[in-house]
């Protein structure tokens, strides 16, 4: 295999575009591949079809340097690459908890017969354990010099470039020393920068991704379960999370209580993990993840109920302003968005909902055309009886009670992300409610502030 490896990246989604552009920035020649010709054209013209801070600059730098290009031709990709990365999506199957692997299988089925020289196929997509072993057989059968490795990706949307170029750890699921050496060559720069490499079996590599996302989801649902208890018992989950997080054995990350997790990864990955455990006869081991999912979904219903309470028990015809559509700030992704789910539930309860988001409006309109949207925050808030902060964009957390108070008809705020300081809002006459903070605890905060 040549010293200067040439890379292909299959699938031009969040993962594939980021991986292709970042690998080009490391000096590799990279060919991105996607069956969507329009998307290929857009990428070759330097236009990023997704919202990801900093990525467009990397895309353009790669194109300008002549190191990065996109194609929809599999034969071209097979002829080009020494290392083929599979970054296609694995969404949840409609009507089932399982992952839909059709894109991954389709990619390997199309690529394998075209391979005619030694190469490494590297899976990065999130797949149920056992998938890689089957794909490895298909690839080895199609081309004796080709082999498969599994190298799961841990990047987060919103910090995808930094996560790719400076990961905490790189997992190399391999079946030969040669595959390990090739991955060491590909990731030489991040490894020199301090990332650790864990060399393991294909199965452990697949499980590493599922387990990491399951743990993150569990941590969020744990703190949200504590939020439910705080609401029932008169506690304040923000203080509780601070106390828990100060213990280095627990740590503060992923303990932000509120509306819970969404997106294209955590929700579907834990469901697919449970479904796979059931197939393996190990369903008891992951049964707790069903509760993690249930806690997460309960937060959405609870948020809508709080809005109804603040509206005096009936939402019929009540103008409601929803701030946020993206599943988290820094992203335009609305897949399994908690914010849009709440907007939908409120609409079902009879409210006249208007949604605003600084980046995700186009995607939201496509995903939920039945909801009403406003192109500015001011239009969305005008005349509202209840405002719900559902995605903690800086534009929302920087809002002042006076400015927003000048737009709304009634000063009712639900801070479903615990992103605002309640005191100024309460002092400005807002009825302020947060998830995980009992009404009495919120009132105490007001009293404490006034006694100073």
Q: What is the smallest separation between the CB atom of 315 and ligand UGA, expressed in angstroms?
A: 24
What is the rounded distance in angstroms from the CA atom of residue 143 to the CA atom of residue 79? 13
Q: Does 92 bind ligand UGA (CB under 6 A)?
A: no
The rounded distance, in Å, linking the Cα atoms of 432 and 443 is 9
Q: Is 171 in the site for ligand UGA (CB under 6 A)?
A: no
Does position 258 bind ligand UGA by CB under 6 A? yes
Length of the chain: 452
Q: To the nearest whole angstrom, how small is the minimum distance from the Cβ of residue 254 to ligand UGA? A: 4
74 vs 254, beta carbon nearer ligand UGA: 254
Of 10, 8, 43, which Cα lies nearest the Cα of 29?
8
Percent helix, strand and coil across the chain, each rounded to 5?
50, 15, 35
Q: CB 261 → ligand UGA: shortest distance, Å?
A: 3
DSSP state of 259: S
Closest CB to ligand UGA among 311 and 326? 326
Distance CA 143, CA 181 (A): 20
Q: How far is the CB of 116 from ligand UGA (least distance, A)?
A: 32
Q: In the numeric block, which tokens belong to residue 97?
A: 């908890």
| Residue linked to tokens 């353009």 | 60
Tokens of 209: 């991704």
How many whole angstroms separate alpha carbon 423 and alpha carbon 446? 6
Considering only 255, 310, 334, 399, the residue that binds ligand UGA (CB under 6 A) is 255
Residues 211-230 that bind ligand UGA (CB under 6 A): 213, 216, 220
Residue 323 binds ligand UGA, judged by CB under 6 A: no
What radius of gyration, in Å, describes the C-alpha atoms of the chain? 24
Residue tagged 């006249």 (tokens): 352
Q: Mask 327-346, x = binds ligand UGA (CB under 6 A)?
A: xx------------------
**321 part of the active site:** no
Instruction: From 127-135, 255-263, 276-284, 439-447, give the range in contact with ligand UGA by CB under 6 A.
Output: 255-263
Q: How far is the CB of 232 from ligand UGA (least distance, A)?
A: 20
| Contact between 300 and ligand UGA per CB under 6 A | no
| Beta carbon of residue 308, minimum distance to ligand UGA (angstroms, whole number) | 22
Q: Which of the stretches 5-13, 195-203, 257-265, 376-384 binds ligand UGA when contact is defined by CB under 6 A? A: 257-265
Please state, as a whole number, how many other Cβ atoms lie within 10 Å of the Cβ of residue 314. Answer: 11
Tell me, by CB under 6 A, how many residues bind ligand UGA: 22
CA 174 to chain CA centroid, Å, is: 27
The residue with tokens 């008809």 is 409
State the Cα–Cα distance between residues 327 and 68, nearest whole angstrom.
Answer: 30
Q: Which residues are the active-site residues?
A: 265
Question: Which residues sit at the interface with ligand UGA, rule CB under 6 A?
Answer: 126, 153-157, 213, 216, 220, 254-256, 258, 260-263, 265-266, 269, 327-328
């Amino acid at each position: 295999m040549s010293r200067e490896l040439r890379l292909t990246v299959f699938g031009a989604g969040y993962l594939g575009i980021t991986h292709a552009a970042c690998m080009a920035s490391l000096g590799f020649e990279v060919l991105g591949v996607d069956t969507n010709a329009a998307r290929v054209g857009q990428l070759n013209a330097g236009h990023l079809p997704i919202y990801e801070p900093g990525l467009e600059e990397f895309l353009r730098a790669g194109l300008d340097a002549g190191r990065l290009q996109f194609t929809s031709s599999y034969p071209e990709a097979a002829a080009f690459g020494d290392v083929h990365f599979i970054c296609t999506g694995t969404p949840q199957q409609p009507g089932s908890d399982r992952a839909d692997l059709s894109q991954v299988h389709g990619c390997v089925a199309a690529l394998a017969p075209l391979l005619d020289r030694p190469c490494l196929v590297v899976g990065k997509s999130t797949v149920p354990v056992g998938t890689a072993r089957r794909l490895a057989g298909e690839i080895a059968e199609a081309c004796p010099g080709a082999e498969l490795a599994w190298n799961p990706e841990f990047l987060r949307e919103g910090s995808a470039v930094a996560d790719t170029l400076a990961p905490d750890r790189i997992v190399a699921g391999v079946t030969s020393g040669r595959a390990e050496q090739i991955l060491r060559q590909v990731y030489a720069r991040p490894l020199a920068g301090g990332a650790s490499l864990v060399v393991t079996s294909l199965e452990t590599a697949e499980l590493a991704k599922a387990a990491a996302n399951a743990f993150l989801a569990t941590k969020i649902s744990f703190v949200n379960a504590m939020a439910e208890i705080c609401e029932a018992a008169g506690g304040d989950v923000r203080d509780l999370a601070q106390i828990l997080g100060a213990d280095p054995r627990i740590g503060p990350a992923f303990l932000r209580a509120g509306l819970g997790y969404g997106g294209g990864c955590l929700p579907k990955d834990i469901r697919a993990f449970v479904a796979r455990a059931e197939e393996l006869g190990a369903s008891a081991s992951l049964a707790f993840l069903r509760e993690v999912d249930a806690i997460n979904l309960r937060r959405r219903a609870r948020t809508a109920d709080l809005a109804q309470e603040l509206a005096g028990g009936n939402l019929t015809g009540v103008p409601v302003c929803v701030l946020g559509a993206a599943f988290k700030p820094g992203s335009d992704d609305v897949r399994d968005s908690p914010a849009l789910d709440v907007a939908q539930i409120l609409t079902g309860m009879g409210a006249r909902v208007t949604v605003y988001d600084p980046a995700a409006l186009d995607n939201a309109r496509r995903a939920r055309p039945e909801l009403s949207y406003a192109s500015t925050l001011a239009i969305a808030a005008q005349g509202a009886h209840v405002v719900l902060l559902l995605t903690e964009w800086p534009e929302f957390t920087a809002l002042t009670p006076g400015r927003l108070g000048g737009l709304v008809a009634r000063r009712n705020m639900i801070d479903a992300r615990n992103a605002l300081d309640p005191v100024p809002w309460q002092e400005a006459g807002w009825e302020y409610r947060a998830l995980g903070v009992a009404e009495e605890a919120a009132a105490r905060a007001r009293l404490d502030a006034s006694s100073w």
